[in-house]
Amino acid sequence: MIKTLLLVGIGGAMGSILRYLTHWLTSKYFQSSFPLSTFLVNILGSLLIGLFIGYLGKYFPENHPLKFLLIIGFCGGFTTFSSFALENYNLLQNNNQITAYIYIATSIILTISAVGFGSYLSKYL
Binding site as annotated, residues for Na(+): 76, 79
CA dist 69 and 54 (Å) reads: 15
Closest residue by Cα to residue 27 from 38, 18, 13, 14: 38
CB 43 within 8 A of CB 111: yes
Residues belonging to the binding site are 76, 79
Q: 30: Cβ–Cβ under 8 A, 6 or more apart, which residues?
A: 36
